[in-house]
Amino acid sequence: MKDLCSCYVDMVNNSTNQSLETETVSKVGDESAAACSMGLVVVPECEISSDGWRAINNVKDITVGEENVEIPWVNEINDETPSHFRYMPQNFVFQDAPVKFSLSSFSHEQSCSSSCIEDCLASAMPFNCAIAVDNGFAYTADGVIKEDFLEARISEARDQRKQVVMFCKECPLERAKKTEILEPCKGHLKRKAIKECWIKCGCTKRCGNRVVQRGIHNKLQVFFTPNGKGWGLRTLEKLPKGAFICEYIGEILTIPELYQRSFEDKLSFPVILDAHWCSEEWLEDDKALCLDGTCYGNIARFLNHRCLDANLIEIPVYVETPDQHYYHLAFFTTRDIEAMEELTWDYGIDFDDDDSLMKPFECLCGSRFCRNMKRSKKTKQIMNRA
């Protein structure tokens, strides 16, 4: 047991500045350098019992000190422990994704004016980073999303009549299957994004337009759910509507890389970064990206699915690059949330799609809008109006 446990202890203690011989990855969100690289550490798989894992796992902080706040985990139901994974506070390129961050990639028009000092939100006139809303920034001075912008995003996510679905001429998801006959694109939801200030802007880290990049600051807890959904994430304090919770962290993969993992029957938790796939006539395979939080990730991997009326919504957020192929996927509250309430988001999964990259599961969300249930015609009409 000592040898087995030390295998994981080494995994936790090894700093992420160690590099693979063949895999170089870009560090995200570092104000101290515009372009630096870090490596994913290859760690041998360990067969550790529940008691052994519990003994070496940090119950007080599942993030092992990687976040601004400690996030404990608790299981009051049984002896199960969280599955093994390497905690990361930032996204990392796995291998082929051409994601690079550099000062030269931003033109003067894409950054705030150098005359902006301290806090862009305090300025009487919006700067170039204020592209999320028509008349200013997406955030308020309190650090939450503005009501109008948030309600518009919630409405787009829940009401099909307000959604703009675009179709690729040749969809990267279909090309990656490498079948003889290319199936038509199933469509991608076009979504409005937030643009945050970055290192080239004249403001400081205290700027009100730097919310996602400052990381997690709420009191959260990973817990084992009592309703059969496994592990979940809940808040230990009351949260206001529009508050930032966390972003989805994982390895940055190309779609072909993701399909290769599925061909090898490797379990994956992919999030497709397709908000702007149809903005160009032809999308090259290496620019069709996704995030996989299976082996490397953060607390977002514990967010459970809830159909339609989840209390979190995901919004694309651009920080380090004007390239629309890559963005942060940030979670914000859709309403006021009470302490000890579980946090959920709608995965957007089609339970009738047999080709979905997300492994099929039995939905236990409990929502009256659950898409994984047989419903009467009247109930479906109510769901469409919701």
Is residue 73 in some structural domain?
no
Tokens of 228: 């059969």
Residue-wise pLDDT for 106-137, tens only, equals 666 666 666 667 888 887 766 677 655 555 78
> Where is pLDDT greater, at 336 or 114?
336
Containing structural domain, residue 304: 90-385
Q: What Cα–Cα distance (Å) separates residue 216 from each residue in 101, 234, 248, 294?
A: 22, 14, 12, 20
CB 336 within 8 A of CB 238: yes
Structure-block tokens of residue 215? 């990381």
For the cut 90, the answer to whether the pLDDT of residue 11 exceeds it is no
Asked if the structure places residue 299 within a domain, the reply is: yes
Residue 230 lies in a domain: yes
Most confident of 14-23, 98-107, 214-223, 347-356: 214-223
Residue 60 amino acid letter: K
Question: To which H or E segment does residue 255 belong?
Answer: helix 255-263
Identify the top-confidence range among 30-39, 46-55, 320-329, 331-340: 331-340
Q: Would residue 239 count as lying in a domain?
A: yes
Q: Distance from first CA to last CA of the chain, Å, rounded?
A: 54
Q: How confident is the model at residue 12 (pLDDT cuts 50, 70, 90)?
A: very low
Tokens linked to 192: 């409005």
Structure tokens at 46: 């360990």
Tell whether 244 is covered by a domain: yes
CB 302 within 8 A of CB 343: no
- What local confidence, expressed as pLDDT, does residue 17 receive? 42
In a domain, 75, yes or no: no
* 2 belongs to a structural domain: no
d(CA 164, CA 109): 28
Number of domains within the chain: 1
Q: Which of 16-30, 41-55, 142-156, 268-282 has the lowest mean pLDDT?
A: 16-30
CATH number for the domain including 129? 2.170.270.10
96 falls within a domain: yes
